[in-house]
Structure formats: structure tokens, C-alpha cells
Amino acid sequence: MRMNDNLAQQQKEFLSFLKCKLPPEQASFRHQVEDIGNIDINTRLGIYQNAYQVRLEETIDTDHNTLGVYLGEELYDLMMTEYIACHPSHQFSLRHFSQQLPNFLSSHAIFSEHPQLSELARFEQRLLNAFDAADSERASFESLKELPPQHWPELKLRFHPSVQLLENHWNVVEIYKALKNDQTPPDAIQDKNNWLLWRNAENLTEFRPINKAAYTMLVSFQKGLNFAGVCQNLLEFMPEQEVSNTALEILAYWLNSGVIARMVSQP
Amino acid sequence: MKKEFLGFGLGLRTDHFQDVLQDKPEIDWFEIVSENFFVAGGKPKYYLHAIRELYPMVMHGVSLSIGSTDPLNMEYLKNLKTLINEVQPKWVSDHLCWTGVDNTNSHDLLPLPYNEEAVKHVVARVKQTQDYLGQAILLENVSSYLTYKNSTMTEWEFLSQVAKDSDCYILLDINNIYVSARNHGFKAQDYLNAVDPERVCQFHLAGHSDYGDYVIDTHDNDICDSVWALYEKALQRFGPISTMIERDDNIPSLQTLQAELTQAKQIAEKVLGKDTIRENLHKEIANTGWQCA
Ligand SMILES: [Fe+2]
């Protein structure tokens, strides 16, 4: 027998006991536990089984509180129980424990019938991502004004690491906002809508609807296009005389909102 | 690592970030939970760095899983080392327990059997961890709720042997001793008497939930009289040891926790003498048994 075989076997049995829903009296692991009288073995094992469940439930609840309110207690409990059973933690930090929740909801027999649930969960996760994404410098509106006109066409942007684009097919942001304000959420309706999420200079998470022009600019800049190339893409759906003004307005808004980390103007 | 008397500290919690930074309260030092700062940036990192500028800090982890039979998680250790470089803590601690196996994390502090096999296993891993981090670590006694049939020694014998053989330090959680003593029916004083004062570098104090037949380590309550009494005994044996209060749930205002911390300081002053507390602050403590005032 190799060293640690006993220990390894014991740990495997303990962990599978924690993960299973088997009552302690039926768990084979109980035979490894000393009966010293003052507390019965079922209680001892129950303490660990309960702690395992509760800690993971609290983690989901911290990250997806709004989803919980939306689902109501009964469905939320069902969701947490099944998610914990299907997706045990493989990470050393609880920060990412709920990561699979949007996929879980969209593939679950009951929850997938309400696609807004998965989208709402995804929205909450994007907010969390923005909350603790990496820090970086932020470009100011002033630095744009200092840019010589001949450098404009070559201008490229580096966005703040917290910047994310969210494409929804349901009115989940409206649902989210209502629930956050303790109001009755609107009925779920299918509605294509795009959002820009980021963390501002005060470290507060922001989300704003993003129109077609801003969406096109963001995606184009993120692909590495320069200002000239980005304007070219705007021309596809916008009259030529509106393009530069629109682009400038959006750029100014981004700079004033802390969305842009750096402007790169060297060809 | 230097066994320094840091005085009386608190666990740094999100709820108090702003108050600490703004009011700069008279707290000697803070303990952070390492994993909470394994993030890239944002508010947690902002407050961490700003508060670190003002106070000494120690790092306390919950996921080292030193007793697991999985290989040591090198990715975890890498994250830990990065944070150590950022924070420059006085020292780094985790728990004498295991948290998962087969790459699955229970996120709970699970007990080890107290036998030779487990000692050898843990000692090898502590040495590996200390080599990687380039410093000695502290291991904390956990609260436990079951005893294994294959244990062949007491918890304090196990803790002492691991510390001695791996040359690590001990973070003695006074509340955990009390909780485990109640749950397993041993005498808390026997525990204290068996631990080598040379190895003890930090104390934890906390509240728990008492269900009559058993006690659960919940950190959601004030410290109870029995734990204060045990703290007094611990001071008598171990002398001026850096002490902090852990509060993780039902978190009160910073002022309330400061008042509880003042109580700890007053007990220490009563047991060891005000002068001893003042004179030893920020000094290296290298005692082999404390002579009580
Ligand atoms: Fe502790």
C-alpha cells in the first residue's frame, strides 16, 4: 500500500458524502467516525453536510441576489440545490463558483423555458466582472483636444479592462432595475438591446444602453481599426455628413466616462 | 518571518473599508483573507493598498488545503506569492486541515485524522510551501465536529508535531480550542499546556453559536465569557502574542468591534501588566515559556 492511501480514501469518502444528498444515517462514511457519546454521529456529519451546502448557497446568493428575488424562494432554492449538485467547485476561490449559472439555466429542463433567467444571470456576472477587473490608466477628454488633426485618422483606442459589451434578447436590464428598486418587475418581453458596462474612475460599476453607432464604433475599435476605419464602418448605415460629428460625440462621452484607457495616435 | 508582537488587530472586512480609510481608527494591525484579494483590480484592491499604507497587515488563507492528498495547488501558491509581494505582510497563515480532493473544493475547513501518516503527509507539504514562498508559515487549529476512528493521538499532539517537524509557526485560535473541546469533550487547558510557546505567533478570538449539546464556529457573535476566560489562560502561558478578532457574519460597526478589541487589550494588560504590553509592542518575542507578571 502506498503512503497516503488511507488518507486519500478517507478524503474521497468524506467529500462524496458532503456532495451527496444522502442522510447521514445512510452514509458509508459514518463508519470512519468515532462515536464518543456526547453528540450522535448523525449530528456530527450533518453539521459538515449543512455547512457545505450553506456556504455555496450564500455564494450564489451574493452574486445573484436579483435573480433570487425574481425567481422567488421556492424556485431559487431548487436552482441552488441543483446547481450545487451539478457544478461542484473546482477553484480555490469562491469568486467564480457561480460562473456556469447562465449555461446551467439555459440548458435546464424547467429554467430554460424562461430564457430571460439565463440572461439576467449573465448580466449580474458582467457587473461582477466590471467590479473587480484590472485597473488601468484612463485617457481624458483634454488629451483628445491636444491631438493634432493630422493624427486623427490613425487614432486607435485601448479600452479600460472593465469594459464589456452585453447583447440581450430580453428586457432583463429593465427587470433588474425594477427588482433593485423593490418594484414589481415588468413582464419578460423579447427585445434586442445592447449595453455597455464598465467601472468608472470612482470605481463604480456603470451600464448604459449603447446605440447602433456606438456599438459599431466599440466593436470596430476593439478589432484594432483606426478612427478612419471606424468612420468607414459608420458610413454603411449613416449619412456621410453625420459621421464625424456622431463619432466625436461618442468619443467625448467615452473619454468623460472613463471608458478609454489609452489613445494611440502613432501610425 | 519575525515573531513580532503586533498588538491588537481586526480582520479587515468589506463593510469597514471606507470607515477605516476615512477615520484611521486606533487599531494596531489588520488581517486580510488572502483569497478575497485574488482579483485583478477595482474597489477591493484600491482599499487594500490604501489601508496597507496606514497599517501593518498579515495574510490569512482558507484554500491552501495543506492536508489534502491532491498535489499542492501551484496555481494557488503562485497567486499567494503575488499577493505577498503586493501586501508585504508580517506573515502568512492558513489552516491545519484539508478543503478538497480530486480537484473539488468544499470551501470548508475539514479535519484530518491525527496519526503518523497524516503528520508525515502534512509536514512534507508545509516544507514544500515554505520553500516556495521563501518564508515560514503559520498554521491554525480549526474547529471540528468529528473524530476519526483512525486517529492515534490528540489534536494538540498532532499540531505540535506538525509544527516541530516542518518548522512552521502556530496561529492559535482560542475560540476553536473552546469549540472543539466542547464538541469532543477534552479539556481546553490540556490543549494550551501541550502547545510549545516558542511556536505560537498569533491568536484568533471569535464568537460562536452554542446549541447546548454542541457548538458551531460561526464568527457571527460577540466573544463569549468562556472564550475570554480561555484567552486569559492562553496569555498566562504564551505571553504577549499578536491578537485579533475574526468577525465574518452579522458584522457590527467598526466601533463595536473596536470596543471588543479593547476588552482583549484590557485582559492582556491585566494578565501581563500594562508595561509588558507597551514595552513589547513591535518587538520580537522569543520566549520559551512566559513568566507572568
Ligand atoms: Fe480562526
Q: What is the CATH number of the domain that holds A215?
A: 3.90.930.50
Q: Which residue of A has its CA nearest to B151?
A: A34
Which of helix, strand or coil describes residue A158?
strand
pLDDT tens digits for range B163-178 = 999 999 999 999 999 9
pLDDT of A2 above 80: no
**A121/A242 same-domain check:** yes
Kindly state whether residues A120 and A246 are assigned to the same domain: yes
The average confidence (pLDDT) of chain B is 96
B112/chain A closest Cα distance in angstroms:
8
**Concatenated DSSP letters for A165-233?**
EEEEEE-HHHHHHHHHTT-PPPPP-EEEEEEEEEE-TTS-EEEEE--HHHHHHHHHHHTT--HHHHHHH
A89 and B216 within 8 Å at the Cβ level: the answer is no
Q: Is residue B177 part of a domain?
A: yes
CATH number of the domain within which B49 lies: 3.20.20.150
Beta-carbon separation of B117 and A6 below 8 A: yes
Task: Answer whether A3 sits within 8 Å of B113, measured CB to CB.
Answer: no
Phi, psi of A191 (to 5 degrees): -165, 110
Share of chain B above pLDDT 70, in %: 98
Answer whether residue B293 is part of any domain: no
Asked if residue A119 and residue A28 are part of one domain, the reply reads: no
pLDDT at B152 over 50: yes
Q: Are residues A42 and A166 in the same domain?
A: no
**Whether A146 and A57 share a structural domain:** no
**One domain, residues A27 and A135:** no
Domain count, chain A: 2
Domain around B140: 8-288
pTM: predicted TM-score of the whole model, two decimal places: 0.95
Judged against a pLDDT cut of 90, whether residue B96 lies above it is answered with yes
Per-residue confidence (pLDDT) for residue B293, from 0 to 100: 40
Q: Which residue bears the cell 453528540?
A: A39
* A79 and A130 in a common domain: yes
Report if residue B78 sits inside a domain: yes
Q: Quick one: average pLDDT of A125-137?
A: 97
Q: Answer whether residue B202 is part of any domain.
A: yes
In chain B, which residue's Cα lies nearest the Cα of A136? B41
Do A199 and A253 belong to one domain?
yes
Per CB-CB distance under 8 Å, the chain B contacts of A12 are 101-102
**Residues A112 and A123 both lie in one domain:** yes
Chain A neighbors of B98, CB-CB under 8 A? 11
Mean pLDDT, residues B55-64 taken together: 98
Q: Point out the residue among B40, B69, B76 whose CB comes nearest to the CB of A132.
A: B40
CB contact under 8 A, A4 and B117: yes
Number of domains in chain B: 1
Does residue A224 share a domain with residue A168? yes
Whole-number pLDDT of residue B287: 61
Q: Where are the alpha helices (DSSP H) in chain A?
A: 5-19, 41-63, 65-71, 73-86, 101-107, 116-132, 141-145, 172-180, 212-222, 227-235, 240-257
Residue contact B35–A34, C-beta within 8 A: no
A12, A15, A19, A89: best mutation site toward chain B, by most B Cβ within 10 Å? Answer: A15
How many CB pairs below 8 A link A and B?
Answer: 138
Instruction: Identify the pLDDT of residue A1.
Output: 46
Q: Which residues of B touch A137 (CB under 8 A)?
A: none
**Residue B90 covered by a domain:** yes
In the block, cell 485582559 appears at B267
Per-residue pLDDT tens over the stretch A45-102: 999 999 999 999 999 999 999 999 999 999 999 999 999 999 999 999 999 999 999 9
* Torsions phi, psi for A264 (to 5 deg): -115, 115
**Cell numbers standing for residue A71:** 425567481
**Same-domain check for residues A37 and A78:** no
Closest-CA residue of chain B to A18: B106
**Whole domain around residue A33: which residue ranges?**
1-63
pLDDT at B252 over 80: yes
- Do A148 and A249 fall within a single domain? yes
Can you say whether the dihedral through the CA atoms of A173, A176, A182, A187 is positive or negative?
A: positive
Residues of A in contact with B45 (CB under 8 A): 132, 135
> Looking at chain A, how many residues does it have?
267
* Domain end position, chosen among A48, A63, A78: A63
Q: Which of A25, A255, A249 is nearest to A157 (CA)?
A: A255
Q: How confident is the model over A198-239, as pLDDT tens digits? A: 999 999 999 999 999 999 999 999 999 999 999 999 999 999
* Subunit contact A38:B185, Cβ cutoff 8 A: yes
Residue A267 has what pLDDT?
A: 57
- Pick among A35, A93, A97, A200 to test the B interface (most B CBs inside 10 A): A93
